């Protein structure tokens, strides 16, 4: 059996519709690859079956890689757990901190997904003082005077 351009178009549409049922955002790339092969066959009707399958595989993988590496950058994604972002940030203590006692620091913009964090310090710092994040230790920020 020889596949023609419309076979690939129907396969692409079927895969695209199956994506609606699965909701994985994975099958859609194989559907788009099939539609691409259908368009290539429309332009070059004599393309062999092996070349069609190879083109479908390469197009599907390339589209998937392009999506996940280039276009799917999520700047609004929560930054929870990414400590590098917090280092050096300046906030204001809303609850005083003492050595071996926790305090609270508030930031003007959210840091790692939250505006208020529990903090520790090596020295006593009064509420209302500006502090700088010097380290992240699990769910606690270590702060020092600015």
For residue range 38-56, what is the model confidence (pLDDT) as tens digits?
999 999 998 999 999 999 9
How many Å apart are CA 29 and CA 19, to the nearest integer?
Answer: 9
**Is-contact 35 60, C-beta < 8 A?**
no
**Is-contact 107 89, C-beta < 8 A?**
yes
> Residue 139 belongs to what H/E stretch?
none
pLDDT category, 76, cuts 50, 70, 90? low
Please give the pLDDT value at position 75.
56
The listed CATH number (3.40.50.2000, 3.40.50.150, 3.60.9.10, 2.40.50.140) that belongs to domain 83-145: 2.40.50.140
Name which of 83, 97, 78 is nearest 139 in CA terms. Answer: 83
* Structure letter (DSSP) for residue 87: T
Please give the pLDDT value at position 114.
87
Report the phi/psi class of residue 137: left, alpha or beta, with left for phi > 0 and alpha for psi in -120 to 50: beta
Please give the pLDDT value at position 115.
92
Please state the rounded mean pLDDT for residues 12-41.
93
How does strand 140-145 pair with strand 114-120? parallel
Q: What mean pLDDT is reported for the chain?
A: 89
pLDDT category, 79, cuts 50, 70, 90? very low
pTM of this prediction exceeds 0.75: no
Residue 125, pLDDT above cutoff 70? yes
Cα-based distances in Å from 120 to 30, 31, 37, 109: 51, 53, 60, 20
Domain boundaries, the chain: 5-71, 83-145
């Amino acid at each position: 059996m020889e596949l023609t351009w419309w076979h690939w178009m129907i396969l692409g549409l079927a895969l695209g519709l199956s994506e609606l049922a699965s909701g994985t955002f994975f099958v859609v790339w194989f559907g788009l690859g099939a539609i691409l092969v259908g368009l290539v066959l429309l332009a070059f009707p004599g393309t062999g079956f092996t070349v069609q399958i190879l083109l479908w595989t390469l197009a599907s993988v390339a589209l998937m890689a392009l999506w996940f590496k280039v276009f799917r950058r999520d700047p609004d994604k929560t930054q929870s757990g990414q400590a590098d972002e917090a280092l050096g940030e300046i906030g204001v203590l809303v609850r005083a901190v003492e050595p071996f006692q926790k305090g609270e620091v508030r930031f003007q913009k959210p840091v790692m997904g939250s505006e208020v964090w529990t903090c520790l310090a090596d020295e006593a710092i009064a509420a209302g003082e500006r502090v700088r994040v010097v380290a992240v230790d699990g769910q606690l920020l270590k702060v020092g005077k600015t």
